[in-house]
Chains A and B, each alone.
Chain A
């Protein structure tokens, strides 16, 4: 077992994890963050995406011990049902959410892009979400939502 201390959605946290424990399981089971989902489990689908130091990573292939001393963000950092982030609102308004399984990861990849690039082109948006699979929407609405949100919101680290 190891103690890991890191920033989780802006708050300092600390917990004991197993050596083989994945960040995905630590977040779901030790911090009850169920927005981070296990899809393929081998780093292909992107539904387990979290931001580590503001860059998207697959938490299903990240040992929990690796985030010691780092900053981790999940979709809860953006907003919640009571106070949605403009990016989340844009997803709803554009119809970019159908089953919703990919949405938290998709939002985080988009958020990371908008932090670095306030006015991305469609091809930059597509590139940024290319590690997140959506099997419902066909991506058109997702790209639209991110483009709509880009002008409206500040995405802060």
Chain B
């Protein structure tokens, strides 16, 4: 049984923003796969605005490499979208791994971002696609880079009266992309470690490499020093080994040593090497 609350299901973004502006102690619900679990565990709120009936939040549009993803699109729909398979393969892959078929039919990209778990599967791929979030309230619009949007584990810059309205990503044509996660079992498990990558190569050289690591640090992050190190370098075991060691160093710099690192760091090293080798 859920704690008591009142819910509304607006059909337009304008109505949703009006509800968010006028209702006290209000939460947005999309798929409900995080919010309702938290409420069953005792989180309370008086009002819930269900955004899943708002068509304009479920649109997907692409213009060359600029792609705008509606926040209420489900993981299942993202993993099936041909445009994203072509231009954001790591995101498609992550959406195909998250949770279980039921979770993928329910949960949304906006929900995964707003929940901001350190182990969120979609965040590493979204980081390498230079994601910018469009946010609206009745007072106006603002944009924020994903790197700034997540301010702490499970905490974003979204205010209660604000609504995430677009997830804007840069498509990466010509990149070899992927997402790999390690969890206690293949299905329906929280990622213990994850790596998203997009690599552009020219013969035996790295031209441009984007990497993001999840579940290791309080927030998924891009080791930008390692990306810079790899740009233009020869693709060989020496470079790849050095890059993997730099990633581990960067994780240690961010968090200090942790008991789980005896397991995690060698695994991250292996994942990064595999990603770079292709």
Contact = CB atoms under 8 A, between A and B. Distances in A.
A129 B109 CA distance: 23
Contact of A19 (B5, B101, B187, B188): B5
Interface residues of B, number: 29
Given A56-B105, A63-B32, A131 B187 contact: yes
Given A49-B102, A127-B101, A65 B50 contact: yes
Contact of A131 (B9, B50, B188): B188
Contact of A20 (B4, B31, B99): B4
A84 to B, nearest CB: 24
A131 B32 contact: no
Given A61-B32, A61-B36, A19 B7 contact: yes
> Which 6 A-B residue pairings sit nearest by Cβ, starting from the closest?
A131-B100, A130-B187, A19-B7, A131-B102, A20-B2, A55-B105
A114 to B, nearest CB: 14
A75 B99 CA distance: 23
A46 B4 CA distance: 25
B52 interface: yes
B76 interface: yes
A65 B7 contact: yes
B29 to A, nearest CB: 7
A47 B100 CA distance: 13
A15 B257 CA distance: 56
A63 B7 contact: yes
Interface string B29-65: 1011100110010000000101010000000000000
B101 A44 contact: no
A130 B101 contact: yes
30 contacts: A20-B1, A20-B2, A20-B3, A20-B4, A22-B36, A25-B1, A41-B40, A43-B99, A43-B103, A44-B188, A46-B102, A49-B102, A56-B101, A56-B102, A57-B102, A58-B102, A58-B106, A61-B31, A61-B36, A62-B32, A63-B7, A63-B29, A63-B32, A65-B50, A109-B101, A130-B187, A130-B188, A131-B187, A131-B188, A132-B100
Contacts of B99: 43, 131
Contacts of A58: 33, 102-103, 106
Contacts of A43: 33, 37, 99, 102-103, 106
A128 interface: yes
A42 B37 CA distance: 6
Contacts of A49: 102
A23 B108 CA distance: 19
Contacts of B1: 20, 25
Contact of A63 (B50, B101, B187): B50
Contacts of B76: 55
Contacts of A62: 32, 106
Given A2-B7, A20-B7, A68-B9, 5 more contacts: A49-B102, A52-B105, A57-B102, A131-B101, A131-B187
